[in-house]
Amino acid sequence: MSKQFDAVIVGAGFTGLTAGLELARAGKRVVVLDADSAPGGLAGTFEFKDGVTIEKFYHHWFNNDEYVPKLVKELGMEGDIVTMPSKTGMYFNGRQWNLSTPMDLLRFKPLSFVDRIRLGLLVLKVRRVTDWKTIEHLSIREWLEPLCGKNVFRIVWQPLIENKFSVFADAVNAVWMWKKLVLRGSTRDAKGGEQLAYFKGGFGRLAQAMASEITRLGGEVRYSSPVTGVHTAGGDKLSGVATPGGEVSGEQYLFTPAFSLIADMFEGAAGADWLARWRRVKYLGNVCLVLELDRSLSDTYWLNVNDPGFPFVGVIEHTNFDSPENYDGKHIVFLSRYLAKEDPLWYYGDDDYLEFALGHLQRMFPKLERSWIQDFRIWRAEFAQPVTERGYSEYVPDRATPFSNAIISTMAHIYPEDRGTNYAIREGKAVAALMNQAPAR
């Protein structure tokens, strides 16, 4: 006989782990199932061949984020939070420009002086929007271009949006950009610089601490346990989920993967209308190249790339944020590319992808040599970024499923905020509260 749980949670990302931890603290018998071999989802970590540990996909949080530091404090690990200034810049027309402070902006010569002022005033204009639904029917271009001017949009924003959203660049609604600008404008210090926070050892270490606490409280976290389907016993309730290790049964169920994956799990159990709604939300994948170098490329942490033809949204040199001393003296660089799975680059082998990336990276950093690379890894996530099209709030599915004992909470629900660890934790706490309120059997 399979063990009966109070709650079965599908997905050991931060939403699933947070919900599992909250339910376990409330005395529930919890099991968290994940297809991966370790917790954390997109925030999971890996080791280079020399033992240096880093995230598969770059992560930090903002100094005004609320839920990550609260969670860390609950786990008694607040001493592992480090807050540091970040240095940002832009690569344009063959040159790197600093853009960390208002004075840097005033020196940004690719824009005329008038356009620099327009760009600087943009955050003030953006803050005048108090109801995001009033701009949800507009694309980013339709909303932003009148606010900052065509030239500012063309040089500063258009390349970033196109690299971020690929074939969906003209489909994403203005709310995504509005929220980004409001958030970034509220993280500045008195001198106009930006303070960011990081967790020592990476977010995967934090995820592991959460999983260990669930286990300590009597729950289970099972890895390499993909859910391949759901079972019903008639009526409006699930009776279990199918895994390679057999059926897992519970009183309540929470599903946290991407909508498309949830639709696959419910195929044959949910009606066509439910499946179509879940599959309506589109996603972009991400291919992230992580380089371990023996020296630094530059002194900038986050370098946006606005040069036409460069295929990456930016060059993120993590060790210009968190010291190389924490990585055995190595320098860690992320190159991230968002793309549809149909893009031929998705299917490149690792060595071919590295050579493709180096060809572009050496245009920016001519001194870079292949011998600088001590190790590299390439990570692919098929459902890395929900695409929030015009009118997204009207068609995105809510937490409900056809079954009264099963709910959904995914990164696509975080809207109007964009996906992020801070908001995943917020959602996990919210759904756990709903599940704790459910009547006992």
CA–CA gap between residue 420 and residue 43 (Å, rounded): 9
> Backbone dihedral region of 239: left (phi > 0), alpha (psi from -120 to 50 degrees) or beta?
alpha
Q: What is the pLDDT of residue 191?
A: 56
User: What single-letter DSSP state applies at residue 204?
Assistant: H
Going from the C-alpha of 148 to that of each of 102, 104, 158, 180, the distances in angstroms are 16, 18, 12, 16
Run of H or E residues at 213: helix 203-216
Q: What is the pLDDT of residue 185?
A: 58
**Domain assignment present for 191:** no
Q: Residue 260's domain spans which residues? A: 4-59+202-281+396-437
Are the C-beta atoms of 18 and 349 separated by less than 8 Å?
no
Give the CATH number, domain containing residue 424.
Answer: 3.50.50.60
Amino acid at 297: L
**Domain assignment present for 36:** yes
Q: What is the pLDDT of residue 85?
A: 82
Q: If DSSP codes are grouped into helix, strand and coil, which group holds residue 125?
A: helix
Q: What is the pLDDT of residue 441?
A: 47
Q: What is the pLDDT of residue 352?
A: 97
Q: What is the pLDDT of residue 100?
A: 79
**Domain assignment present for 193:** no
Tokens 């480090």, located at residue:
82
Q: Report the candidate in 365, 435, 428 with the shortest Cα–Cα distance to residue 71.
A: 428
Given a cut of 50, the residues of the chain with pLDDT beneath it are 1, 440-441
**Domain assignment present for 344:** no
Q: What is the pLDDT of residue 180?
A: 87
The tally of domains found in the chain comes to: 1
**Domain assignment present for 357:** no
Q: What is the pLDDT of residue 372?
A: 98
Instruction: Kindly report the number of other CB atoms within 10 A of residue 94's CB atom.
Output: 8
Q: At what angle do helices 421-437 and 67-74 cross, to 10 degrees?
A: 70
**Domain assignment present for 29:** yes
Write out pLDDT tens, residues 332-384.
Answer: 999 999 999 999 999 999 999 999 999 999 999 999 999 999 999 999 999 99
**Domain assignment present for 375:** no
Tokens 């572009």, located at residue:
360
